[in-house]
Structure formats: C-alpha cells, structure tokens
Amino acid sequence: MKKYLFLLLLTLPLFSEKGAGIGQKLGDTVPLDLTFINEQAKEVTLRELMDGKPTLLTLNYYRCAGVCSPQLEELAATLSKVQLAENLDYKVITVGFAEDEDISLAITKKKNIISSMTRHYVQDAWQFVLGENNSSGKLAQSVGFKYKAMKMENGDLGYIHGASVVMISPEGKITRYLNGINQLPADITMAIKEASEGKVRQSIPRNNSPFCFTERPEAGLMVNNITRMAGVLSVIALLVLFFFFLRRGRKK
C-alpha cells in the first residue's frame, strides 16, 4: 500500500506551474529608478511613467498567444466603465518582460487595446513599455511575478506566467493584487482610491487566475488546459486505486 501512497504524492506537483506564479508582496516598495523603453523608443524611469499617480501595473509579453491579450482586453473593457479620470487620478503601465521583443510590438498591442475601449481614453494614461538590462525582470521580482522561459516549436522563446494587475501607490508601495483576467469596475476604483492614500489591502480571492502556456502558439490556452486536465484525471485515478487497495488490505 505504501507504494500507492508514494505514487499519489508524486502527482501533487501537477497542480502547480513550476517556476511561475504570483507571490504577493503587499507593502513592499518597487524600485522606481528602473529604466524602460517607451513608445517613442526613449529611456524613461518607472518614476517618470507613474508621474506621482496611483498606478495599475501589468506584466505581459507582446507576442503572447495565451492569457495576455484577453487580460489586457478585459482590463480595457473595465477601465472604460471606471468613473475616474485617467491620467489625472491614475496611470496604467504594461511592461513587456520579454526583452528580445521590439518596441513596435508594444505600439501595435497598445493600438489594438485602446481601440477596443468603448469610450475615448487618454492615450498617455496607459503606457506600453519594454524592459532593458533586465529592468523588467527586476520589476517582476519586486512584485512577486514569476515567469518561466521555454522554447516554442518555431524556435522562439515563450513564457509560462500568471495574470495579475498590481496596484502601486504614488510612492511605489504595492497596495493590492487583482489576480486573474476579469476585474470589476468597483474593485479597480476602490484599489485606485486606496492606493492614492497608501492603504494596503488583501487581494480579493478569485478562481480565474489562469496560466499562459504557449509551447504551441496556435493552441494557446488549450494546451495548458489539457495539461491540467490530464493532471487532475491522473490524481483522481490514483486516488481510486489508493482507496481500492486500502479497502482490500483491510479485508485481508
């Protein structure tokens, strides 16, 4: 019976994504002097990008075929409904952590996302930038955003990563995490207002925190979902076997 228990324990890692995830660092301060490349191909600091405003931060890579586009599209839809003045009350920064990408990808992504919004949105309020000299990696580490590089079938680099909006106060303090793809306008509004006051609040638990797994870009999330389903089914099968042999042992 011990060998079946051992097999069961071996399957537990199937529920996690090794090397990827979001470890919350509420109350920590992000390094505001990190430099990035903006849409004008100029070097700017995180401090300059935030401009003393509460800031919604997302970390993505622009050729992502998984959760990145849905996350940004849903955020755009939510911000369209937020009754606060972008660029005055808050900023949004999307950082591309794949530093082998070109700024043209960031510009194209921004154009697509902004054009999807249902009202006029001040373009300067949402900056799409690229990291340089591992600044994106350092920023990701400071907010607990872990991603794992991998080779895709076409030879390009892909990444396993989660989806979260990190709320940062004007002083650079991490005040809240809004995990997953779908956010409520009320949650975003409250997060911005509390960040402006420097208030730290625990994240609202959600069950919609997918991982991006793009080893096969044409399959996108389907690959990850199938992988997870296979893992769950394996665990269920082993549980059935475990209890079967447990009962059998008791009868003997």
Q: Which residues are annotated as a binding site?
A: 64, 68, 161
Q: Which residues pair with residue 15 across a beta bridge? A: none
- Residues 160, 42: contact at Cβ < 8 Å? no
Encoded tokens for 40:
């004008």
Nearest CA-CA partner of 189 in 100, 110, 84, 115: 84
| Pair 71, 60: CB distance under 8 Å | yes
Q: How far apart are CA 138 and CA 30, in angstroms?
A: 9
Q: 70 Cβ partners below 8 Å, 6+ apart?
A: 181
Contact partners, residue 136, CB within 8 Å, separation at least 6: 36, 59, 95, 96, 97, 99, 130
- Distance set, CA 84 to CA 27, 32, 126, 190 (Å): 24, 24, 14, 11
How many other C-beta atoms can be found within 10 angstroms of the C-beta atom of residue 129?
22
Binding residues for Cu cation: 64, 68, 161
